[in-house]
Structure 1
Amino acid sequence: MSHGATPVAPSLSLTPSQAMRWRIAIFAVFAVTGLALATWASRMPAIKAALGIDNSHVGAMLAAAGIASIVGLSLATPVLARFGARRSMLTLMLAYAAGVAVIGVGTEVLASYPLVIAGLVLFGLGSGCTDVIMNVEATEIEQLAGKTLMPLFHAFFSLGTVLGAGAGILAVSWGVGVLGHAVAVAVAIAVIAVLAIANVPRRQAVEPGTAEPGTAWRDRLRVSLSAWAEPRTYLIGVVMLGMSFAEGAANDWLALGVVEGHGGEETLGAVGLTVFSVAMTTMRVLGGPLVDRFGRVAMLRLLAVSAAGGLTLFILAPTLPLVLLGAALWGVGASLGFPLGMSAAADDPARAAARVSAAATIGYVAFLAGPPVLGAISETIGLLNTLWIIVGLTVASGLASGAARPLRPADPS
């Protein structure tokens, strides 16, 4: 093992079968979280048309979802400390599945802008909190395996977005309304959640190695919050910021960028999001071995170039095939910033969960709060011109990527 993950002593005693079931369960949690996001993101043109709103109203909806998600992120550490991973994730996944269904009802049954916002808020609260907890789970699994696995976990999130975007293409092509589409996905998420959580080990540990089972949850919470006092947490957050912005902007605005910026049909907008998601998923599947071979910093710098170049091509391309090529390069470039930030936060196993929770919060604030800001700006300068902001942020992320260099064994922070 070279540049990627740091082998650690297992914090749990599991049989190989139990460990594999745990890994598969968290793969499933990542996948359905991506599926839920892409379900409503891929139908955003239809939601916008059904409600008769403009980009500023879309931005306000996304802002509501983003604020709710940030609240969910802030609640993740106390929720995990108080209730543990199993109960927390099951409840939260059922909550965001319900949010997806409410979006469908608000769009097609009642044509209610406030109800769609309510669905997005419910989705945001549930998915935001789940995102932190599933990353904490994934880093512990990575530590048990002793090799870089975080890109693969995030590949499953991207696979979920591919499935969600693909389902969006089929739904548009077959004339399936937003309601039927959203309710079907919500039911699927609920079923998968129950099956997956049944295979997550029962344990009480927010901070393996520092909080013994039975420790008061307030003490575990205090340990978890301590990461916010460490400068390295913020440096890793800077590395994640640009790529999280790039990924979030694609999920929320890429389809509209194809339709409104380049004159494509609604179906082609969903195709553009699918191309992005497939490229991101492919790179995340391949990323672990590449990181272990070439190192985190080198990969992050290379992919920053791909993200900036892909975004530039997407903005300036004179033909739709080049727009789709730009989307693919954009997806490749944005693929590893977030998962490698998670791995970097987990380098010291004694403080892994606290640092992962803090770093995930920084990344998700960019992922969720950034796109609504872009929506507001786009009303003044246009959607494609607004994407130049993301180009600058991806360049900054590449320049700061040295902060993700793996810790030496004796380095405490």
Structure 2
Amino acid sequence: MNHETATQPSVAGWRNAVLISFALGGLTMATWGPRLPSLRAALGLDNAGIGLVLAGVTVGSIAGLVASSALLSWLGSRAAIRSVSWLIAAGVAVIGVGAGLLHSVPIVTIAFVLLGFGIGSLDVMINVDGAAVERAAGRTLMPLMHAGWSAGSVAGAGLGAACAALGIDFVWQFLGEAVIIVGVATVASRWLPVRLDEDTDRGKPPVADRIRSWLRGWADWRLLLIGLVMLGVELGEGSANNWLTLAVRDGHGKSDAIAATFFTVFAIGETTARVVGGPLVDRIGRVAAVRSTTALGVVGVVLFILTDASPLILVGIVLWSVGVSMGFPLGMSAAADSGPNPAARVSVVASIGYLANLAGPPAVGVLSGSVGLLNALWLIVILLAVGFVAAGVMRPS
């Protein structure tokens, strides 16, 4: 490393800073979900209206994914991650004030777009940094990083639910979370490298060439196959987040309390699998890790669909959570290692993953209108099986 590349005191400090950044991303994504009823009431909208407002997150995220490579190149790792974290905090604060005090739909919509831009950019940047620190440490760390995101989501959802239960206005919750994000991100960024080795100014191609490199990534068969693996696991994760409780309640006839408990088991299972997954990958390799987990996921979703016995449903949910735990983080590592300009390559596969996570659950919902919710989940089984077959592409170059 050159003198400008890493001013962090140690690889461990760098790893922890990236892990904290992942957790902040998860915390942010869980900010508004528990408070949607209050947001909807404050803005005077129905479900369709609040859905259009939330679409701003999707629009902003796609723009952020596209812009992330250029921002990382321009600002360097430390300044870029710190800046988009501040943008995320600003978006959270403006949503709270815009909805709770100003009751302005346009302001809140714009804030969601900016928030989505920050989240999309941050996701690529921390995955690029995560892949770099993984190489520096000489062992698999990306599953642990993504466990940080999952843990942050659980903490954010719990915080929102607690504030709602205690009658704390969402304005104060959002402003408080914005302050936390700014403070934690500012401190953690001190342990990030100023600029990654592969992104130093020396020998860096012009911006136009880097944009062309990003576009060429969409014609790179290896990146597209990595994206295909991520398509299945992200559809599985997104569908669980959106449909699991309804499938337990309506499809299997269980109570709301059991449905909520089973969803909590899914979240804990996925997080745990990612925490312990790194050493497993170091022992058996990326390909075997992805194939073994996706195979368990296929078994789990099939078991979930076909059985009505609560213990077997619970076993299916645990296997389902393990099945979707490794494909995304290992896909990010594989994309970053697959060639030059890792930020652009990560952006390509992250875009495919986002598409599956955001567009997949609505597709399951549409399909359920014709065949029922449980039968619609066979789509997850099919795509996880496709990911199992395509996982060989994740073998290191």
Q: Give the TM-score normalised by the residue count of structure 1.
A: 0.80
Deviation at 1:367, TM superposition (A): 2.5
The residue number in structure 2 matching 1:163 is 155
Which letter maps to 1:89?
I
- Quick one: structure 1 residues 186 and 160, their matched pair in 2 at CA, closer, same or farther if it must change by over 3 Å? same
Identify which of 176, 185, 192 aligns with 1:200: 192
Find the aligned partners of 2:338 and 2:310 in 1 and give their Cα distance: 46
The residue number in structure 2 matching 1:5 is none
- Quick one: structure 1 residues 194 and 152, their matched pair in 2 at CA, closer, same or farther if it must change by over 3 Å? same
Which letter maps to 2:125?
I
Identify which of 58, 72, 85 aligns with 2:77: 85
- Quick one: structure 1 residues 62 and 78, their matched pair in 2 at CA, closer, same or farther if it must change by over 3 Å? same
Instruction: Kindly provide the CA deviation profile for residues 64-112 of structure 1, in whole angstroms up to 9, marking residues without a partner as x.
Output: 3222211111111122222222222222112222333344446555666
- Quick one: structure 1 residues 401 and 159, their matched pair in 2 at CA, closer, same or farther if it must change by over 3 Å? same
| Structure 1: gaps (5+ residues) | 1-8, 408-413
The yes-or-no answer on 1:331 pairing with 2:324 is no
Q: In the alignment, is the contact (CA less than 8 A) between 1:345 and 1:359 conserved in 2?
A: yes
The residue number in structure 2 matching 1:279 is 269
Find the aligned partners of 2:159 and 2:223 in 1 and give their Cα distance: 37
Find the aligned partners of 2:327 and 2:216 in 1 and give their Cα distance: 24
Instruction: Kindly provide the CA deviation profile for residues 234-270 of structure 1, in whole angstroms up to 9, marking residues without a partner as x.
Output: 11111111112222333455466667776755x8776
Find the aligned partners of 2:6 and 2:387 in 1 and give their Cα distance: 38
- Quick one: structure 1 residues 116 and 253, their matched pair in 2 at CA, closer, same or farther if it must change by over 3 Å? farther
Identify which of 355, 359, 378 aligns with 2:349: 359
Identify which of 19, 38, 56 aligns with 2:11: 19
Query: How many matched pairs?
Result: 395
Deviates more, 1:377-386 or 1:298-307: 377-386
Instruction: Kindly provide the CA deviation profile for residues 138-170 of structure 1, in whole angstroms up to 9, marking residues without a partner as x.
Output: 111111122211111111111111212332443
Instruction: Kindly provide the CA deviation profile for residues 13-58 of structure 1, in whole angstroms up to 9, marking residues without a partner as x.
Output: 758833222211111111100111122234446656776634x556
Deviation at 1:202, TM superposition (A): 1.4
| Structure 2: gaps (5+ residues) | none
Which letter maps to 2:346?
V
The residue number in structure 1 matching 2:290 is 300
- Quick one: structure 1 residues 244 and 196, their matched pair in 2 at CA, closer, same or farther if it must change by over 3 Å? same
Find the aligned partners of 2:305 and 2:286 in 1 and give their Cα distance: 28
The yes-or-no answer on 1:153 pairing with 2:178 is no
Q: Give the TM-score normalised by the residue count of structure 2.
A: 0.83
Instruction: Kindly provide the CA deviation profile for residues 160-209 of structure 1, in whole angstroms up to 9, marking residues without a partner as x.
Output: 1121233244334434444333332222112111111122121265547x
Find the aligned partners of 2:375 and 2:95 in 1 and give their Cα distance: 29
Find the aligned partners of 1:391 and 1:113 in 2 and give their Cα distance: 39
The residue number in structure 1 matching 2:333 is 343
Deviation at 1:133, TM superposition (A): 1.0
The yes-or-no answer on 1:191 pairing with 2:191 is no
Q: In the alignment, is the contact (CA less than 8 A) between 1:207 and 1:350 conserved in 2?
A: no
Q: In the alignment, is the contact (CA less than 8 A) between 1:297 and 1:402 conserved in 2?
A: yes
Find the aligned partners of 1:167 and 1:19 in 2 and give their Cα distance: 31
The residue number in structure 2 matching 1:68 is 60
The residue number in structure 1 matching 2:46 is 53
The residue number in structure 1 matching 2:132 is 140
Find the aligned partners of 1:226 and 1:117 in 2 and give their Cα distance: 33
Identity %: 43
Which letter maps to 2:276?
L
Q: In the alignment, is the contact (CA less than 8 A) between 1:41 and 1:252 conserved in 2?
A: no
Find the aligned partners of 1:270 and 1:402 in 2 and give their Cα distance: 36
Query: CA RMSD, aligned part only?
Result: 3.6
Find the aligned partners of 1:117 and 1:269 in 2 and give their Cα distance: 32
Q: In the alignment, is the contact (CA less than 8 A) between 2:227 and 2:352 conserved in 1?
A: yes
Find the aligned partners of 1:264 and 1:380 in 2 and give their Cα distance: 24
Find the aligned partners of 1:308 and 1:58 in 2 and give their Cα distance: 34
